[in-house]
Amino acid sequence: MSSEGALTKKTYRKRLFEVIEIAEDGDKLSNVYDVFMMVTIVASIVPMAFKTTNVMFDVIDKVTVTIFIIDYVLRLITADLKLNKCVGSFFLYPITPMAIIDLVAILPSLIVINSGFRLLKIFRLLRTLRVLRVFKVVRYSTPIQMILGIFKRTKESLLFVCGIAVGYVLISALVVFNVEPDTFDNFFDAVYWATVSLTTMGYGDIYPVTVAGKIVTMISSFMGIAIVALPAGIITTGLMEEINESKTNTNN
């Protein structure tokens, strides 16, 4: 192959990569592709909202799965442009989180099982994994990409708050489990109660009945309000920084 031909091929692959990735400003073709894939994803999960199936749902499933397969192959052949690992990119891409979601969303619709093999019917459970198709939206949605960016930027703070929350849940559960051993059959029930109290949900299916237990509940609820509010403040701050950064990049 001539150097000119190789250059042309590389240019086509780069353009293909730009189209199938999330659209940049002004890239109309990439925007069209994103919208098309969003519509395809929504169409693929519509049959899941019904208990029964019909010919139309089967056609929708086959068409959308075919589109997902083509999208997966296109991403695989341009993996080196995304991961920048040369030949190794083609082996690393299939084990990336989004590639795994893509594959899991495809496989259940490709599994055909003979009804005579009763043991193999368990594999039909894999069809429930089609619900993961909804996570493909992450790749084509700019707002969701922004939210993921916020989580990445604030992950240390959020992990710290999560650590505090987990610690508080376990301590509260341990306290109430010893204060009211008759109310909670096991430690897991106490952890469940502490989690519900921390988030101020208050389902009311398990609750302390003694004065000491009620005092622990009140303290846990007040502390829960403070702990739950922390992630909201961190995420809000991250969102404002992301918006300001986006505006600055647009102005420049």
Domain 153-251 has CATH 1.10.540.10: no
**Residue 132: how many CB atoms within 10 A of its CB?**
17
- Say if 3-140 and 153-251 have the same CATH topology: no
Q: Is the whole-model pTM more than 0.85? A: no
| Type of residue at 110 | L
Cβ(224)–Cβ(199) under 8 Å? yes
| Per-residue pLDDT tens digits of the chain, which is 252 residues long | 455 555 576 788 888 888 888 666 677 888 888 888 888 888 888 887 777 878 998 888 889 889 989 999 999 998 888 888 788 888 898 998 888 888 877 877 776 544 444 444 444 445 555 556 666 666 666 677 777 777 777 888 888 888 888 888 888 888 888 888 888 888 888 888 888 887 767 677 777 888 888 888 888 888 877 787 888 788 888 778 777 776 666 565
User: What does each C-alpha distance from 93 to 34, 73, 86, 134 come to in angstroms?
Assistant: 20, 11, 11, 20
Q: Measure CA 2 to chain center.
A: 44
Cβ(210)–Cβ(180) under 8 Å? yes
d(CA 213, CA 10): 69
Domain 3-140: give its CATH superfamily: Voltage-gated potassium channels. Chain C (1.20.120.350)
Listed by start position, the domains of the chain span 3-140, 153-251
